[in-house]
């Protein structure tokens, strides 16, 4: 469910005509709907029992300040994976005391920063990190709350590159090591080990794998307690998927959230822990679109290559994960003839293809089209590859819109490089 619809034959973001935004900002541009973000966050938070439990929005899905401030105002916490994300979330008004810090490669500097700002929880992913963090915190006279991220050896997700919970993945401490490390952590001076975390993958639309991972986590909690160790938090990660295809056979959206919450409550029933959740894609995925202009239509044999002004550096998901994005023309097609198109960007890579042989209503040079469901892992994964400036991001609320990130200028693009002195 999202707030991008045709009104009088023109695609709107909430009540704003997409053409109005394009006239002001140009293409390509990401456009976000605040009503969609609010709706998803509220449904999720309500389903999982906030405020008894906590929701930490996974900042890496979309770190635009417009998105973060919208969520901050709703009381969302943040799941962060770098010092940059901590600082960005702080800039959006999220209190570090409402942040959890995940990631396999936290540096000493990042850990020190997190401890110094009083982060709510650090999700420790290895023995080396545990030792380093304890030293850092103890040396500044602090005792940092941590949970141990466990790899349950249950992988899941929409693509191999977004599976994180299998033992072949780099994330978390192995299931067999968890209890030894937990006991060790409980004896370190600089940390207070108070729980466990798990996150097995992304774009998960079937709950079986999540359930088996959570059942395993419950057994670890019970086993730790039977050894007299203290466990008060269980962070269940993110990973819930969204419908990238409206006509997809599986029914999810609110239904998936309700089923997920019911499963979680069943599996953790009577466990007496504070539950944490780290949804990213679920909150912002359908809340953003990427609008691009058709530059050329090149017919090659029986192929129609539609060259657009957005590229894989702006939205890498199709190239990286073979991801599917619906394509909606900004002007609503009425009884249009359909053709098979390869929609491609200008970047010098064959992988710079948004879709191949997609049946779409006829598109002409100069037409605007929207790549739908581009709100998660779109702008945050963008780069300046081919020296293409980062594109603008716009936030819509009702009948208003604001540019929440201006298009990068060529001066900004070139300005930070320095020629070596000997030249």
Indicate the SS3 state at residue 94. Answer: coil
Should residue 281 be labelled a site residue for ligand PLP when binding is judged by CB under 6 A?
yes
Dihedral through CA 380, CA 381, CA 385, CA 387, nearest 10?
0
- Catalytic, 348? Answer yes
Q: How far is the CB of 171 from ligand PLP (least distance, A)?
A: 7
Distant-in-sequence, close-in-space partners of 56: CB < 8 Å, separation ≥ 6? 76, 77, 78, 79, 98, 99, 100, 276, 277, 278
Count of residues touching ligand PLP (by CB under 6 A)? 16
- Judged by beta carbon, residue 66 or residue 237, the one nearer ligand PLP is 237
Q: Which of 58, 80, 181, 209 binds ligand PLP (CB under 6 A)?
A: 58
Among the options 270, 300, 302, 348, which is catalytic? 348
- Strand 392-397 relative to strand 400-405, pairing: antiparallel
**Which span sits near ligand PLP by CB under 6 A: 13-21, 68-76, 276-284, 311-319?**
276-284
Should residue 110 be labelled a site residue for ligand PLP when binding is judged by CB under 6 A?
no
Helices marked H in 117-253 = 127-139, 178-185, 208-226
Q: Which of 60, 218, 252, 397 binds ligand PLP (CB under 6 A)?
A: 60
Should residue 239 be labelled a site residue for ligand PLP when binding is judged by CB under 6 A?
yes
Q: Which of 238, 318, 329, 375 binds ligand PLP (CB under 6 A)?
A: 238
Q: Which of 102, 134, 163, 382 binds ligand PLP (CB under 6 A)?
A: 102
Q: Which of residues 199-228 bind ligand PLP (CB under 6 A)?
A: 199, 202
- Judged by beta carbon, residue 21 or residue 197, the one nearer ligand PLP is 197
The secondary element (H helix, E strand) that includes residue 124 is strand 121-124
Could you write out the DSSP letters of every residue in 357-419?
A: EEEEE---TT-EEEE-S-SSSSGGG---GGGPPPPEEEEEETTEEEEEEPPPPHHHHHHT---
Site for ligand PLP, rule CB under 6 A: 58, 60-61, 79, 102, 199, 202, 237-239, 278-282, 376
Catalytic residues: 348
């Amino acid at each position: 469910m999202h707030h991008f619809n045709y009104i009088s034959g023109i695609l709107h973001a909430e009540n704003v005509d997409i053409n109005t935004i394009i006239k002001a900002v140009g293409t390509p541009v990401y456009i976000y709907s605040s009503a969609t973000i609010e709706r998803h966050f509220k449904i999720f938070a309500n389903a999982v029992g906030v405020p008894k439990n906590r929701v930490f929005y996974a900042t890496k899905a979309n770190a635009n300040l417009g998105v973060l401030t919208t969520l901050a105002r709703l009381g969302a916490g943040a799941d962060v994976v770098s010092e940059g994300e901590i600082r960005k979330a702080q800039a959006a008004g999220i209190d570090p005391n409402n942040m959890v810090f995940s990631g396999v490669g936290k540096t000493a500097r990042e850990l020190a920063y997190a401890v110094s700002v009083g982060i709510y929880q650090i999700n420790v992913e290895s023995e080396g990190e545990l030792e380093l963090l304890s030293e850092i915190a103890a040396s500044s006279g602090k005792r940092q709350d941590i949970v141990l991220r466990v790899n349950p050896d249950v992988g899941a997700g929409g693509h191999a590159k977004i599976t994180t919970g299998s033992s072949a993945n780099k994330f978390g401490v192995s299931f067999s090591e968890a209890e030894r490390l937990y006991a060790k952590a409980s004896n370190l001076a600089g940390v207070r080990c108070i729980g466990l975390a798990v996150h097995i993958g992304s774009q998960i639309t079937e709950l079986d794998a999540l359930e088996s991972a959570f059942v395993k986590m419950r057994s670890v909690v019970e086993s730790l307690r039977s050894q007299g160790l203290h466990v008060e938090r269980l962070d269940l990660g993110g990973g819930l998927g969204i419908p990238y295809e409206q006509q997809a056979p599986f029914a999810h959206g609110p239904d998936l959230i309700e089923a997920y919450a019911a499963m979680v409550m069943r599996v953790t029933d009577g466990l007496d822990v504070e539950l944490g959740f780290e949804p990213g894609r679920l909150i912002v995925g359908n809340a953003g679109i990427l609008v691009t202009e058709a530059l050329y239509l090149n017919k090659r044999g029986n192929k129609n290559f539609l060259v657009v002004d957005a590229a894989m550096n702006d939205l890498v998901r199709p190239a990286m994960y073979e991801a599917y994005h619906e394509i909606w023309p900004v002007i609503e097609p009425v009884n249009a003839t359909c053709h098979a198109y390869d929609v491609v960007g200008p970047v010098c890579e064959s992988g710079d293809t948004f879709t191949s042989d997609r049946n779409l209503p006829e598109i002409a040079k100069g037409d605007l089209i929207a790549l739908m469901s581009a709100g998660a892992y779109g702008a945050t994964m963008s780069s300046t590859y081919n020296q293409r400036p980062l594109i603008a991001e716009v936030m819509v609320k009702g009948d208003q819109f604001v540019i929440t990130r201006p298009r990068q200028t060529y001066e900004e693009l070139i300005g930070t490089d320095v020629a070596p002195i000997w030249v």
